[in-house]
Amino acid sequence: SIREIERRIDRAEQDLTGITPGIDRPTGVPVQYADYVNLMFDLQVVAFQTDSTRVVTMMMGREGSVRTYPEIGVPDPHHPLTHHRGNVEWIEKVTKVNTLHMELFAGFVKKLKATPDGDGTLLDHTTLVYGSGLSDGNRHTHDDLPVVIVGRGSDLRLGRHVAYPRNTPMTNLYLTLLDRIGVHAEQIGDIHQLTNFTVGVALASLAGARRPRPSSSSFA
């Protein structure tokens, strides 16, 4: 009956209001980079947990960032270090920064896995795409991009590493992910092809991610 549905809605709303974040309210923007990123990840976990949103994007660091990381032994600005010109010391520092970013992302994944959600966990019902627009900051290389796909929200087969042929468009992945979650877009940029992604990490290219022609059907 309609009344029974209304009661179920009332109970569901009460259940959501009873969820507590489990994190302290911050007093301001954290000074340490890791503290700031972890705070942003905690907010995302709570947002998913309370169904406040189902889509989140986050940039770990902007393209021309001059952020320093003295807490991990990298007092130099990040972006200039990526133009290392083969300098071993600079490469080691960039590696430290990349490692920190991946460790923070891994912590986010663990939080999702530890958070119950329906018949599983938030990680079971989420798909995360982690990557970069460059594979080599020194040369500004836009192909062979390392992309990590985590979570079972899109019913992908994970736990594998696959190197796709050169110039495989990155937008193939995006179109495939949209299709797996029920958004059947015909095109992203110049790409019409769904890809059989059965990977945990895929190497792809940004080729084909150009702005669509005005006369074309597109989804961006």
Per-residue pLDDT of 35-68, as tens digits, reads 889 888 988 998 899 888 888 999 988 878 889 9
Sign of CA dihedral 58, 60, 66, 67: positive
Q: What are the distances in angstroms from CA 2 to CA 5, 12, 13?
A: 5, 15, 17
Per-residue pLDDT of 111-147, as tens digits, reads 999 999 989 999 999 999 998 888 888 888 888 888 8
Instruction: Report the DSSP beta bridge partners of residue 121.
Output: 116
Q: State how far the Cα of 173 lies from the Cα of 147, in Å rounded to an integer.
A: 10
Residue-range domain boundaries for the chain = 1-120, 127-220
Q: How confident is the model at residue 191 (pLDDT cuts 50, 70, 90)?
A: low
Give me the mean pLDDT over the 26-39 stretch: 81
**Reported pTM:** 0.74
Spatial CB neighbours of 179, under 8 Å, sequence gap ≥ 6:
185, 194
- Would the pLDDT of 10 be above 80? no
Spatial CB neighbours of 66, under 8 Å, sequence gap ≥ 6:
77, 78, 79, 80
Give me the mean pLDDT over the 22-28 stretch: 67
Q: How confident is the model at residue 150 (pLDDT cuts 50, 70, 90)?
A: very high
Return the beta strands (E) in 133-215 as ranges: 145-150, 161-163, 201-204
List helix spans (H) across 50-87. 78-82
Give me the mean pLDDT over the 199-215 stretch: 31
